[in-house]
Amino acid sequence: MRKLTVFTLILGCLSILSCSEERMNSMGEPTIQVNLQIRNANEWKSANVTIDYIRFFQTNSDQSETGIGTVQNWNGTTLNFDLRQEETKKVLEKPYWEAILLGIDPDFIETSFVTVDDIQIEGVAIEYVEYIPFENQTTIKNGKKYQIDLGIDLDKALIKKEDSFELKVSTIKAKISEL
């Protein structure tokens, strides 16, 4: 097996940051924030990713095609979603969800660094994830600056796949904040 480049292991631990008020993005939608921990060899570093909105879909049923389904939160709360509804693009409301990241809009991500494709989460998949370099931990879009932190708990080993990393994870959570 070829030696993994950039990262030998990615582990995440969610660290929800308390906010005195709910912030809004340029579309008038609520925003959230999460914490990503990346371990490179024996050194832990923090990194941020930038996303536009959370997109929900399931991969273990026809609901992945219709955009209609149910996702259960880590604390047992259940979310019903319907992608035919424009408001579904809104991020999960606090405090019930504390933002489980289930989908990322790739058009919002502006910097290539490490790509994680097709992350499976208990029947739910993340379509696209891309991390930005540590020295560029915020991204500006439409004149607004966002800081995104991502939390991942590994369930399986990290697999090198071409120029991307494929992860099998048990949970992945996110919050987005507008700076």
- Provide the residue type at 31 as one letter: T
Residue 65 phi, psi (nearest 5): -90, -40
Q: Measure the CA–CA gap between 61 and 106, rounded to whole angstroms.
A: 23
Average pLDDT score, the chain: 36
DSSP state at residue 18: P
Position 15 scores a pLDDT of: 26
Task: Give the distance from CA 165 to its chain's centroid.
Answer: 15
Model confidence pLDDT, tens digit, residues 98-124 = 223 333 333 333 322 222 333 332 223
Model confidence pLDDT, tens digit, residues 18-71 = 222 223 334 433 333 333 333 333 443 333 333 333 333 333 333 334 444 444
CB-based contacts of 118-122 (< 8 A; 24+ apart in sequence): 118/166, 119/166, 119/167, 119/168, 119/169, 119/172, 120/59, 120/168, 120/169, 121/169, 121/170, 121/171, 121/172, 122/170, 122/171
Position 179 scores a pLDDT of: 52
Domains of the chain, by residue range, sit at 9-178
Model confidence pLDDT, tens digit, residues 75-85 = 344 445 444 44
Model confidence pLDDT, tens digit, residues 159-177 = 333 333 333 333 344 444 4
Residue 178 pLDDT grade (very low, low, confident, very high; cuts 50, 70, 90): low
* pTM attached to this predicted model: 0.21
